[in-house]
Amino acid sequence: MSTITHVETTNGKKLRDGMIKSRKTRVGDVIIALFIFITMLLCLLPMVHVLACSLSSADALVRNDVFLWPKGWNIEAYKTVLTTQKYVWSLEWTAILTVACTLLSITLTVCCAYPLIYENLRGGKFINFIILFTMYFSAGTIPNYILLNNLGFLNTPWCMILPNCISVFNVIIMRSFFFGVPDSLREAAEIDGAGPIRVLIKVYLPLSLPVIATLSLFYAVGRWNGFSDALMYLKSSKAEKYYPIQLMLYNVIKNSTQTTEQVAQEGFFDNGVSKTIQMATVMFATVPILVVYPWLQRYFVTGVTIGAVKG
């Protein structure tokens, strides 16, 4: 049970009891609800617009008629995207990359966070410091680039997988969550003769599924939306097959820009046909995440608040 919902229910109860409520607050409630409703529309409408554009005919887009409802319904744009080798491969590749990165990242995060909860781990404080220090000071873009160059990772998929596979913040969240697991459980398992690994698998991992789901989402979103590392590290034309969807989309948009005036006047798109296709590509690049996060949201809000209660 998340604490956020807890507060909601207490608020709800207060309202139902009718003890504290006055007419004044009811007006306030409506104003607040209205404000939040408008903000919601602000968040949602751009995506609805993109959806409408992707389902419209090319003519309607050229006339700029489309607002929130498609004009000249058709799914040609989606068909085109799904039959264009370049787009399909880019989507597949990004999906593969995202899954691989998430699995690797979450495994390493658990491996990194779990030993640190042992208070008698020798050298634990030092390791802790090593990890936390990188949060406040990093070498910078160019040293990282030179390192990848020297390791021979430039223009290979590794440059998008390895350099960011552990996030210190996620390690801290994971560790905090592990701390929240009662020590007595661990001690009980240890008395039964379980070693640290067994304790991890049998006690800690089953109890921390919410936080694992949450952090997996964070890692997956980071990789799926990641763009600058690919831009910087995939430079040769041979590496084009490794372009993730975001970089490919960026290039498509940038290439369709022709002159400076056109940028100012027409946005980044040159003609109607490619506009619908670009909108369809945008849908493909966002929908996977937009479909997943509301389901995991329950977990991550719960994860956060369980931690807060335990702390």
CB 60 within 8 A of CB 72: yes
> Alpha-carbon distance 14 to 93, whole Å?
52
Contact between 38 and another protein by CB under 8 A: the answer reads no
Contact between 20 and another protein by CB under 8 A: the answer reads yes
Site for another protein in 132-171 (CB under 8 A): 134-147, 149, 162-171
SS3 281: helix
Nearer to another protein, 89 or 179 (CB): 179
Nearer to another protein, 172 or 239 (CB): 172
Contact between 265 and another protein by CB under 8 A: the answer reads yes
> Alpha-carbon distance 77 to 274, whole Å?
9
Q: How many CB atoms lie within 10 A of CB 186?
A: 19
Burial class (CB in 10 A: 0-12, 13-18, 19+), 113: buried
Q: How many CB atoms lie within 10 A of CB 189?
A: 18
Rounded to a whole number of angstroms, the minimum distance from the CB of residue 215 to another protein is 9
Contact between 39 and another protein by CB under 8 A: the answer reads yes
> Alpha-carbon distance 165 to 121, whole Å?
24
Nearer to another protein, 5 or 80 (CB): 5
Give the tokens for residue 178: 């592990």
Q: Which of 72, 93, 250, 273 binds another protein (CB under 8 A)?
A: 250
Phi, psi of 114 (to 5 degrees): -65, -50
> Alpha-carbon distance 283 to 48, whole Å?
10
Count of alpha carbons within 13 angstroms of residue 166, beta-carbon side: 15
Contact between 93 and another protein by CB under 8 A: the answer reads no
Contact between 129 and another protein by CB under 8 A: the answer reads no
Q: Which of 17, 83, 119, 237 binds another protein (CB under 8 A)?
A: 119
Rounded to a whole number of angstroms, the minimum distance from the CB of residue 125 to another protein is 11
Rounded to a whole number of angstroms, the minimum distance from the CB of residue 147 to another protein is 5
Contact between 302 and another protein by CB under 8 A: the answer reads no
Site for another protein in 169-208 (CB under 8 A): 169-173, 175-177, 179-180, 183, 195-197
Size of the site for another protein (CB under 8 A): 124
Contact between 225 and another protein by CB under 8 A: the answer reads yes
Give the tokens for residue 159: 């440059």
